[in-house]
């Protein structure tokens, strides 16, 4: 690979992202039931770096994180991003956090007393306007027609996952989003009763479950964009389907109604 152009001047080029990643950090999340839930997040924080700036002070990212220690949540995201933008003199600021969120005993897993874990992500951006995408991954069990000797359905394994990402115009509880998804995906509750119906068998395909979930989420008034991915585990690989709405490149529009 030889240089055949005149020497480029990298001083005039923008650094698109500069920051810190994979910080493990204890955080608290507001929680419908318990007010405050303690968990551990993996955090990425970065800004753009206009070409006239020579470097950035990496330690400032963690200093900002420390200032908000104990109160990272949907509400405080804007304040953290604002502090990043100001202290680092950046045009854009980004923060991504990923954490396990726990729900006490829900109807969807009656076989085992205990708490369920959901992987959550928040990706916030601030340039001129705020943007926040919330992602929740909901595990899906294999449907079970078999009961163990305590009268509870036996585990037939992991069917897959449903991952929903949203842009919100109003606050929404993570618990409510999980319940919306589990109303569709929860085999033990929904599918089990109707195991013989033609419709229910159909709903086992990733395409159909993606569409059912999308239809449900599109009907929510406070969601301006979403993406749904349903993944079905086979022994050695997965099958999956993804639906995004409105599709990128198209203007915001109504989900087609049956009347149309």
**Cβ closest to its own copies, residue 77 vs residue 191:** 191
Name which of 81 and 178 has its Cβ closer to its own copies.
Answer: 178
What angle is formed at CA 171 by the lines to CA 169 and CA 176, rounded to 5 degrees? 115
Q: Does 236 sit near its own copies (CB under 8 A)? A: yes
- Residues 171 to 230: which contact its own copies by CB under 8 A? 176-177, 179-180, 201, 204-208, 210-212, 214-216, 218-221, 229
Instruction: Work out the burial of residue 120: count CB atoms within 10 Å of its CB; fewer than 13 is exposed, 13-18 middle, 19 or more buried.
Output: buried
Note whether 33 and 179 are within 8 A (CB).
Answer: no
Instruction: Tell me how far, at minimum, the Cβ of 125 lies from its own copies, in Å.
Output: 15
- 10 in contact with its own copies (CB under 8 A): yes
Residue 32-71 contact track with its own copies, rule CB under 8 A, x = bound: -----xxxx-----x--x----xxxxxx--xx-xx-----
| Angle at CA of residue 95, ends 89 and 99, nearest 5° | 160
Find the shortest distance in angstroms from Cβ 81 to its own copies: 18
Which residues ranging from 11 to 30 are in contact with its own copies (CB under 8 A)? 11-26
Q: What are the tokens at 80?
A: 């953290």
Q: What residues from 83 to 102 belong to the interface with its own copies (CB under 8 A)?
A: 100, 102
- Determine contact, residues 94/124, Cβ cutoff 8 Å: yes
For residue 258, what are the contacts with CB-CB under 8 A and spacing of at least 6?
A: none
Neighbouring C-beta atoms of residue 213, cutoff 10 Å: 24
Interaction of residue 134 with its own copies, rule CB under 8 A? no
Closer of 77 and 159 to its own copies (Cβ):
159
């Amino acid at each position: 690979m030889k240089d055949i152009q005149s020497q480029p001047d990298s001083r005039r080029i923008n650094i698109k992202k500069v920051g810190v990643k994979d910080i493990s950090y204890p955080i608290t999340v507001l929680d419908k039931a318990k007010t405050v839930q303690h968990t551990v997040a993996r955090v990425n924080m970065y800004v753009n770096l206009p070409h006239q700036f020579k470097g950035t002070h990496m330690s400032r990212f963690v200093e900002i994180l420390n200032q908000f220690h104990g109160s990272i949540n949907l509400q405080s995201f804007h304040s953290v991003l604002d502090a990043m933008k100001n202290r680092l003199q950046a045009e854009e600021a980004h923060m991504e956090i990923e954490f396990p969120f726990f729900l006490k005993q829900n109807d969807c897993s009656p076989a085992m007393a205990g708490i369920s874990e959901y992987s959550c992500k928040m990706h916030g951006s601030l340039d001129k306007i705020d943007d926040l995408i919330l992602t929740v991954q909901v595990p899906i069990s294999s449907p079970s027609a078999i009961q163990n000797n305590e009268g509870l359905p036996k585990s037939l394994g992991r069917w897959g996952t449903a991952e929903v990402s949203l842009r919100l115009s109003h606050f929404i509880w993570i618990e409510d989003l999980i319940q919306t998804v589990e109303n569709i995906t929860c085999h033990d509750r929904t599918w089990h009763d109707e195991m013989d119906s033609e419709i229910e068998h159909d709903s086992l395909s990733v395409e159909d479950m993606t569409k059912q979930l999308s239809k449900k989420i599109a009907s929510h008034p406070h969601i301006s964009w979403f993406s749904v991915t349903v993944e079905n585990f086979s022994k050695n690989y997965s099958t999956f389907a993804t639906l995004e709405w409105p599709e990128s490149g198209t203007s915001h529009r109504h989900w087609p109604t049956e009347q149309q």
